[in-house]
């Protein structure tokens, strides 16, 4: 029997409807949330991602403010723009599209964003609040994974979760969300130095792949009936594929997210959710 497909587009649409309601409520108070997107350079994939974010912002009623800098922009120019957006009362959320080109310092730029306007949820202050289980602005992709589980009635309490990948963008914050009090999964993080990743992955009731290696997780790495969340987005000659060998794993798993159409739409939807949350906080 094939696995149940966890449709991220369906869940993202529900989130968008919620965000639109919250934006409308703010508008009645005279507040229109604003999301500033910063794009440095001419990477085609980054341009596609930012366009999708801007379209969704406009769809839910968020004011989209866009800023582009050339590939040869200096660190000072990028930082000056971020500081200007920090001071702009029309801006509630700031997104600097990563990775930045050349020798520009991603971490330094991210750290300069006002934590209260950190639409990506990646500022060190917000990651610290996440560790303390007090976060409001949570990293978008991990937040999207949790919403998919909730939407489809998959309760992690008491389950064994294995996350393959330990990035600060996905793996580490997601491990904190899954292990938090009230969620209560038992979490293992696997990575490039983990001996026999497939054996570790087979222990999972909830298996998350987030490393950027096409087809890394095959059927031999999946416990029968497990929920498999594929965060990977890899561009290949065959098109977009995930970190999970979808066709073979869906015959073993109990539920699985596709690529595309799984976690990807949730990341953008949660960016809007963070922006409206930041706007609500600015209103007290």
3-state secondary structure of 97: coil
Distances (CA, A) of 280 to 62, 91, 137, 186, 251: 13, 12, 12, 33, 44
* Mean pLDDT computed over 134-157: 97
- 72 annotated active-site: no
CA nearest 148: which of 13, 29, 1, 52? 13
CA nearest 247: which of 256, 234, 237, 235? 256
Kindly report, residue by residue over 206-222, the tens digit of the pLDDT. Answer: 999 999 999 999 999 99
Catalytic residue among 53, 143, 205, 243: 53
Looking at 46-55, 110-119, 180-189, which range is the least confident one? 46-55
pLDDT value of position 284 = 81
- 117 annotated active-site: no
CATH architecture of 139-264: 3-Layer(aba) Sandwich (3.40)
Domain topology for 30-116: Rossmann fold (3.40.50)
Does the structure show a pLDDT above 90 at 237? no
pLDDT value of position 53 = 95
Structure tokens at 229: 């969340």
Q: Do the beta carbons of residue 196 and residue 164 sit within 8 Å? A: no
Catalytic residue among 114, 120, 205, 243: 120
Catalytic residue among 92, 97, 118, 230: 97
157: which DSSP letter? T
pLDDT value of position 191 = 94
Whole-prediction pTM: 0.95
- 53 annotated active-site: yes
CA nearest 86: which of 67, 114, 66? 114
d(CA 221, CA 14): 32
Distances (CA, A) of 235 to 143, 164, 168, 232, 261: 24, 19, 22, 10, 14
d(CA 280, CA 22): 9
Does the structure show a pLDDT above 80 at 1? no
Domain ranges in the chain?
30-116, 139-264
d(CA 113, CA 146): 25
Kindly report, residue by residue over 21-39, the tens digit of the pLDDT. Answer: 999 999 999 999 999 999 9
CA nearest 50: which of 59, 69, 37? 37
């Amino acid at each position: 029997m094939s696995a149940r497909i966890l449709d991220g587009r369906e869940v993202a649409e529900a989130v968008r409807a919620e965000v639109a309601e919250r934006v409308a409520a703010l508008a009645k108070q005279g507040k229109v949330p604003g999301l500033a997107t910063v794009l440095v350079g001419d990477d085609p994939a980054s341009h596609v991602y930012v366009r999708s974010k801007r379209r969704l912002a406009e769809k839910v009623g968020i004011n989209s403010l866009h800023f582009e800098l050339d590939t040869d922009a200096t660190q000072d120019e990028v930082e000056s723009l971020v500081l200007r957006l920090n001071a702009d009362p029309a801006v509630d959320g700031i997104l600097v599209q990563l990775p930045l080109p050349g020798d520009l310092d991603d971490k330094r730029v991210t750290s300069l964003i006002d934590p209260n306007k950190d639409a990506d949820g990646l500022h060190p202050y917000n990651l610290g609040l996440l560790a303390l289980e007090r976060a409001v602005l949570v990293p978008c992709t991990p937040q999207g994974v949790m919403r998919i589980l909730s939407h489809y009635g998959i309760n992690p309490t008491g389950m064994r979760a294995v996350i393959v990948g330990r990035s600060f963008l996905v793996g580490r914050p997601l491990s904190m969300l899954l292990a938090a009090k009230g969620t209560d999964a038992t979490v293992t993080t696997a990575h490039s130095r983990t001996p026999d990743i497939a054996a570790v992955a087979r222990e999972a009731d909830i298996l998350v792949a987030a490393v950027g290696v096409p087809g890394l997780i095959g059927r031999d790495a999946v416990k029968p009936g497990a929920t498999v969340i594929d965060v990977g987005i890899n561009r290949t000659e065959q098109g977009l594929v995930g970190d999970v060998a979808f066709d073979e794993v869906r015959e073993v798993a109990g539920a699985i997210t596709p690529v595309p159409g799984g976690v990807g739409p949730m990341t953008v939807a949660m960016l809007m959710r963070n922006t409206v949350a930041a706007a609500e906080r600015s209103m007290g």
